[in-house]
Amino acid sequence: MTTSIVTPAEAGAEIPIELLYRVPYGKVLHGKDCQHLTPSRLATLQPATDLDRQKFKICRSCLVALDGDPGRDDFESFDAALEALHVPQTNRPTMRAIAEGLDTSRIWIPATRAYVAVSPGTGHEVTAFFNKDSVDVRQEEGGYERLVLSTPAMPAARTTAAKAGGARKTKAAAAQEPEPAPPTCPTCYMQLPGTGICDSCD
């Protein structure tokens, strides 16, 4: 049996090196606005070198965003893409309004069927990811801002006993506590999904 090995340089070889970056000491290349990197990691990105391009692979989400996905479905109209993704009807008017202010020359759904993505064209950063109940819009200063359109009903918050003294926290006090930082992959520094397994390094 003959097997073929795709080197890092071959995967996404058409992507200009000017669009690739690396977190210091990281072993994966990213686009400038990789949606999976935390804001602190985005702030440390450095332009990739020719040697980086030969040694390191590109993170999966950035590879799809910059070079395309062989399993993706391309669409000529935004509405057709929303219909194919089965986006709730109640969220579509807001999504259309957001899309009207963006360059949607390229519209597609990846093989994962997780979202509708739009961009000015091949080789450009994704300008927005339209999920079924939220939209991640690229910001001029870098990164993406999430707009939640609808969320499932949340259970009522419960008071919990404090470890010391048995005091109880009120819902207001609990709301003031900062959320813990999301876990990141120690190899590529991408934010880990709920499974705790990095999609780029598994």
Q: Where are the alpha helices (DSSP H) in 34-125?
A: 39-42, 50-55, 60-67, 78-85, 92-100
pTM: 0.49
> Tell me: the pLDDT tens digits for 170-198?
444 455 555 555 677 766 666 666 666 77
Q: What gap in Å lies between CA 146 and CA 92, rounded to an integer?
A: 16
**Residue 27, SS3 per DSSP:** coil
Q: Where are the alpha helices (DSSP H) in the chain?
A: 39-42, 50-55, 60-67, 78-85, 92-100, 171-176
> Tell me: the pLDDT tens digits for 56-96?
988 877 877 676 656 678 899 999 999 999 999 999 999 99
Q: What gap in Å lies between CA 112 and CA 132, rounded to an integer?
A: 13
> Tell me: the pLDDT tens digits for 122-132?
767 789 999 99
Q: What pLDDT score was predicted for residue 131?
A: 93
